Structures are given as structure tokens and as C-alpha cells.
Amino acid sequence: MAEERIIPAPPVNPESKPYWDACAEGKLLVKHCTACGKAHHYPRTMCPFCFSDKTEFRPAKGTGEIYSFSVVKRGPPIPYAIAYVTLAEGPKMMTNIVDCDLDSIKVGQKVKLVFKPVEDGSTQMPMFTPA
């Protein structure tokens, strides 16, 4: 079990603010396009598949599986795991795998959502831990 890394606050802009406001309340949102029916991540106003502006945030189930990962062992003071998790909604998202033995992480592993506060307390980062 690794000590926790200090997490910098995400730069927030008007387009991403609803996402970070929801994270602050412990909710992960995924953008869905009502024109083509597809979900995407990171969230945009315009669907990156069909370019419709009929997009809306919906709450994510908070489950997924690890698509890939790497445990960073050198450089930062504390080892941590960077990963792409395939969300139940479809898109892959960059994240960290936390609260587990980092050397036991596997591709394809089922994971569930957890939140970790950022340094300035402005929001929380959605991360994943083995389900």
C-alpha cells in the first residue's frame, strides 16, 4: 500500500466546470451525444464523432476495467500507477489506480470508482481501485 501522492488541482475552464463541480460532490459524469448515441471522454461541447452540439452529461456507473497501466517507479518521490480504464459507458479515460498493491495490477482487471481530493481542495479526481 503506497503512501498517497499530492494531486495538483486540474485547470478548469467554462466548458469543463460542470464536470469538476460534479467531481467535487463525488459524482463522475460522462458526456453522451443524443444525435449519434455515443459517449465520449474527455467531455466536449461538440461530439467528436458526429460533431453535433446535442451533448449532455450523464452520471457514470463508476465501473470499468483496466485497459492499460504503468507503475512509475522512478522520478517522483512516491510510486503510483497511471492507467487507462475502459468505462462501463464505453470510452477509455486516463486515471490512477489507487488503494491497492501496485505490483498486483493487471490489464483487464475490474475496477470501481473512488475520489481523491486535490491539493487545494477545489475538487476531487476520479480514480479507480480493484472492484
Partner 1 sequence: MSINGKAYIMGAYEHPTRKAPDKSLTQLHAEVAKGAIEDAGLTKNDIDGYFCAGDAPGMFYAMGMADYMGLKLRHIDGTDTGGSSYMIHAAHAAMAIAMGKCNVALVTLAGRPRSEGQGVGTTARAPSAPIAEAGFEYPYNPALASMYAMCATRHMHEFGTTSEQLAWIKVAASHHAQHNPNAMLRDVVTVEDVVNSPMITTPLHRLDCCVISDGGGALIITRPEIAKSLNRPKVKILGGGEAIKHQNGGEFDLTFSGAAISGPAAFAEAGVTPKDIQYASIYDSFTITVLIQLEDLGFCEKGKGGAFVSDGNLISGVGKLPFNTDGGGLCNNHPANRGGMTKVIEAVRQLRGEAHPKVQVPDCHLALAHGTGGILGTRHGSGTLIMERE
- State the residues that interact with Zn ion by CB under 5 A: 33, 35-36, 47, 49-50, 52
The grid cell for 129 is 481501485
- The nearest distance, CB 48 to Zn ion, in angstroms, is 8
Which strands sit side by side in the sheet containing 55-59, from one edge to the other? 39-40, 29-33, 55-59
The verdict on 8 binding partner 1 (CB under 8 A) reads yes
**Nearest CA to 64 among 85, 47, 81?**
85
Q: 92 or 116: whose CB is closer to Zn ion?
A: 92
- The nearest distance, CB 131 to partner 1, in angstroms, is 19
CA 78 – CA 70 distance, rounded (Å): 14
Alpha carbon 30 to chain centroid distance? 10
Which entry of partner 1, Zn ion, none binds 50, CB below 5 to 8 A by partner kind?
Zn ion
- The nearest distance, CB 118 to Zn ion, in angstroms, is 30
- The nearest distance, CB 25 to partner 1, in angstroms, is 16
Longest CA–CA separation in the chain, Å: 46
CA 31 – CA 57 distance, rounded (Å): 4
Residues that bind partner 1 (CB under 8 A): 5, 7-13, 15-16, 20, 38-42, 44, 47-49, 67-76, 80, 82-84, 87, 90-96, 107-108, 118, 125, 127
